[in-house]
């Protein structure tokens, strides 16, 4: 057999070897088959801890807020709005804000829009959902031009809390 017949074969083998060598260096050591077997558990193990540690928590929860604003939390806790997390209206109290010294701390952006209140207080007569049990308004008839917080205090939502 002549040498020129084998030359393409050598080229193919050479290419395959190069790809496999690159693969050895490119693919991380922790990439492979893990707990759930080849079909579901073929991945880079380091990514699990990356998701656990490198993503920051932004929403801290009501207990965190009450650490400094105990008076506000106590007031609202006596009202039907006690079920609402502070950050649902005040925005997430993420680390960027918490880590600042008090004099340079950026303010949270409070959502005072009508739309924020209408999320729950638009009257929808849906018999098989919780919305049917919430006191609601028709936004086209009930003072359509002003924000709800002009009259209603969200921390004291009852009529006695009217401004």
Binding site for other proteins (CB under 8 A): 1, 5, 9, 12-13, 16-17, 20, 23-24, 31-44, 47-48, 51-59, 61, 83-85, 87-88, 91-92, 115, 118-120, 122, 124-131, 134, 139
Q: State the nearest-atom distance from the C-beta of 163 to other proteins, in Å.
A: 23
**Cβ closer to other proteins: 126 or 163?**
126
Q: How far is Cα 118 from Cα 114, in angstroms, rounded to an integer?
A: 6
Q: How far is the CB of 3 from other proteins (least distance, A)?
A: 13
Say if residues 81 and 154 touch (Cβ distance below 8 Å): yes
- Half-sphere exposure for 144 (CA within 13 Å, toward CB): 4
CB of 5 to other proteins, least distance (A): 7
DSSP 106: P
């Amino acid at each position: 057999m002549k040498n020129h017949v084998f030359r393409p074969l050598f080229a193919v083998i050479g290419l395959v070897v190069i790809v496999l060598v690159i693969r050895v260096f490119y693919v991380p050591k922790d990439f492979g088959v893990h707990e759930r077997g080849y079909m579901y558990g073929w991945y880079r193990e380091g990514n699990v801890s990356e998701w656990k540690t490198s993503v920051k928590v932004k929403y801290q929860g009501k207990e965190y807020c009450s650490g400094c604003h105990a008076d506000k939390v106590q007031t609202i806790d006596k009202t039907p709005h006690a079920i609402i997390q502070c950050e649902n209206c005040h925005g997430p109290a993420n680390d960027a804000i918490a880590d600042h010294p008090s004099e340079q701390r950026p303010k949270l952006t409070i959502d005072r829009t009508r739309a924020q209140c209408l999320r729950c207080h638009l009257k929808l007569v849906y018999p098989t959902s919780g919305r049917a049990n919430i006191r609601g308004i028709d936004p086209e008839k009930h003072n359509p031009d002003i924000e709800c917080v002009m009259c209603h205090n969200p921390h004291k939502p009852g009529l006695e809390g009217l401004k």
